[in-house]
Structures are given as structure tokens and as C-alpha cells.
Amino acid sequence: MDCLRATETLSAAHDGEPTAAEDLARAREHCDACASCAAFASALTRLDAVPGPRASEELVARLTALGAQTAAEIAEHASGATAQTPPGMSGAPGTAAPRVPRVVPGWWTPRFTIMATAAAMVFLAVAIGAAGLSALLGPQAAPADDIALLESTGAPGPDAADGYGDATTSDDGALSAAAPDDAARSSAPAPEYLTLENGVWALETPGDPLPSDATTAGVVTSALADSGEATKRTAFISADGLALWVADDGGTYARFARVTRTLGMRRYGLVSGSQLAYFGQWPMLPERFAAPTAPDGSPTFRYFGFDDLSRDIYVPVGASPDTGFALPPNMPPDDPAASNPYWTWWEPL
């Protein structure tokens, strides 16, 4: 199945249109191997989470007051016209008495709510279109006008990277964010990480027995602590490649789990640019990437879209997520890169 047919099938299923189960399965299978279509499927899922529009009580009150004021002015004008009509014409044959408009009754207030909500839906539709195009066209950063529109509907914009300092608004209305200072970088220690061939693993269970089906993965250098001597240790890996056992100093093994996340149902692993020989060290970008100088990832990265956790992701300029993507600093506590004060890099497994 090609990309066009896959996206049409996923879109039809999302909209509730009758879709053959076989076609839907083939479309999802296509997404497993196509990052662009996987991003499209993820965009459909994320759009479902956008809250429905509703006019605020303040807007409804303003519309109601405006309608009442206008009606009162019309009634006052009509009353004045009636007072100026010559007495002889008030009942002359063939003439009609001046028509006095009615003041808008109170039961029209719900109708103002409906009209205001409808207007909000129009703006939201435009905002969703901008968000969808930004996710699908990835290579182009979202224009400032699109970002402002997304903010007006409560949807996150690409420059509003989760946790990257405090967002501020400059005099010209452009969004900016302050990078975390050195105190923030050192205030939160990293989890109990180690690296095997630059892949990052997090401690799950110390003193775990070695499974019989584990195979040799190589040698890691770690102190298995936040201090002391970092020594070379034999590591064993599970059949699915997601669990690692490392020989400890007590004759048993410490079990680690690969730090991963998904994009379009494809698994990506956290990669460190340096060896993590001690617990409490944070993974950083590989040396081939210069650390971004702006919260939007520039000049190293550009905004691409979002992963399966709805986190904004960034790719190298001129590249796609097929070879990996970056996440900004200070992800929320429930994220695989939680609290890391540096940009992180993720590669497909």
C-alpha cells in the first residue's frame, strides 16, 4: 500500500466512514515502515484530544449587551420619528403607521451563545488545519501567525517546547523562552543510567539473577554507583533487546531497561554522546550535533511534529526522523527523558 492510499484509509477510519478491516490493517502496517505516514496517524490521534470550542461567558454577555443597546437605539429612533409625524397623517387612508422594532428579548441569550460558539469553531478548524499541516509538512517551521492562532484556541505551538524554561512574550508579541540556568542543570540528579555502545539503559533491579536465555551483549564501563571506581563489566541482553544484565561486585547482576519512546508505533532508543560511567550523569547530544542556542532547536534542529506521547520533536536541518530525532530539555516527569536539562537524541531500534 502506498502513502496516499494509507493516509486516505486512516483518515476515513478516523472520520467513522466504513473501512475494510484488511485495508486498515495494511495501512497500519505501512505506517510501521513509513515515518511520514506514522506522523500522520499520530496527528489524527492528537487532534482527538483537542477540546471542543465554547464561547466564553464574557463574550456571550458582551454580545447580549450589544444587541440590547442596538435595539434600544432603534426603538428610540423610531419613537422620535413617531413624535414628529403630522397629526393629520396618523390615520390618513393609505398611510402606514411607523413600525416600532422590538427590543431583543432575554430568551435570545442562548442563541448568542450558539452563534459565538459557531464562530469559535471556525477559528478552531483553521487552527487544526495549521497544526496538521505543520505535523505533516515538517520541513517548514510554522509561521508566527499560525502559532498565534494555535495559542488563541489553547493548542500547543511548535515553539512552546515542554519545560524549556519560562515562556515570555516580547514587545513585538513574539514568543521566547529562557534556557535553564546552571543551577537548574545541577539541582536534579540523573537516574541510574549506564551506556552500552552509546545506548542508554536505566537501572530496574539490583541483584537480579541472570536468565538462561540471555546472551552476551559486550562490555560496559560503570561503577554501578555515583562514585568509586568505574570498571569494565560483562553485560548480557534479552532476546527482545530491551533488558540488560550487568555483573555487579556481589557476584549477581543488575538488570537495566533500555530507555525508549515511540514515533508512529516505531521504537526509538535514547543515545548519549558520552559514556555514562557513574549514576547521576545526564545523557547529552552526540558530538556531531552542536547544542542548540534557541528553544526552537536552531540552528542545529528544526521542528518536525510530535511523537506518540504528543511531545514536540525536532530533526536535523534537511533530515527526517528516519535516522533519529531530538527532544528539548526538561520533559515532564512521566516522559522517558524526564527532567533532563539538556537536549536528547533518539535513534530507531
For residue 161, the model assigns a pLDDT of: 39
Residue 172 binned pLDDT confidence (cut-offs 50, 70, 90)? very low
113: confidence class by pLDDT, cuts 50, 70, 90: low
Sign of CA dihedral 142, 148, 149, 154: positive
Q: How does pLDDT run across 225-280, given as a tens digit for each residue?
A: 999 999 999 999 999 999 999 999 888 999 999 999 999 999 999 999 999 999 99
Residue 98 preceded by cis peptide, ω within 30? no
Residue 201 · residue 195 · CB < 8 Å: yes
Residue 196 and residue 202: Cα distance in Å, rounded?
A: 11
Better-scored residue on pLDDT, 46 or 126: 46
Q: Which of 242, 336, 238 has the alpha carbon at shortest distance from 345?
A: 336
**Would residue 129 be called left, alpha or beta, if left means φ above 0 and alpha means ψ between -120 and 50 degrees?**
alpha
